[in-house]
Structure 1
Amino acid sequence: AKWMSEVGKQVMLDGSKTDESIKESTRRLIPFVDVLVCGAGFGEKLAGVGDVFEAGERVLDMGPSVFVETLGERGSITVTKEERFETPSFDITVKDTTGAGDVFHGAYLYGLINGWSPKRIALFSTAVSALKCTRMGGRRSAPDLGEVLEFLQNHGVAAF
């Protein structure tokens, strides 16, 4: 992460709360991270506060320019220097959540590579994850771009 940061490349970290503590090695990575996308509770634990928006602001002070915390069926929270917002989840019938976080992260990277705004990336990533959850299985249930665009249109997002 340090080397990539030094050569001007974006670094995204997938932060997950696997226990009650955040490892020191993870804390040392944060200053070199541009985008932190983490699971529920990670940001609060990292920042030492109970509110996700306050956690996001404190994490930004540590180095990242974007903080995203995924909240499962409740969507996600995004905090940047310019804005803070919630992205609600889509109303779906869940069949299997295996890989939902992985496809969210992959979709987030796709949006970053394409230079999209944080709001557009969050909406797209949420749609990818939601659509994946309507199917059984892990990797094989990940949707393709056409399926995601159709899903968005079917859920009232006309112009994406």
Structure 2
Amino acid sequence: MTAPPALPPLHLVVMGVSGSGKTTVARALAAELDLTFAEADDFHPPANIVKMTAGIPLTDEDRWPWLRALRDWMAEQGTRGESTVVTCSALKRSYRDLLRGAGGRVQFLDLEGSRELLAARMRGRSGHFMPAALLDSQLGALEPPTPDEQAWTYDVACPSAEIVAEVAARVRRELGSGK
């Protein structure tokens, strides 16, 4: 009897605008599934952080180097057979298409919520460079995933623990442990 073929690395990209709970969900999901975690904000060049801290929205030109760095990190992990959980706003389909180039299976988890809830969350957090004033620019740039992208969508009004439990069960059921 032969062993089943190994599953390709899985990269779970927890996406959404600022305030959607990407980091909370992604950290808990990585811990639950014992996967390598990365915060996309850590891949921004310093100039992007300066702009966002000043309340200046990023342009596509600002975002491409950041997205390529994140994709390359995911690909590097994948070549070692490591599956990952990463945060990334992934606002546009073109950004998600670039991230899909990491290889393996790239699955997007789209965290959605009302503008009011997102703004309240942003106002309530401290120590983050992204001001609440940039929420509208992110919502304006957002291209929600289309059905052909097969993203998994979750309402952030639900407790993050419920979202994590549902995603973890789905990953285990559909894909194996991912690692």
Normalised by the length of structure 2, the TM-score is: 0.27
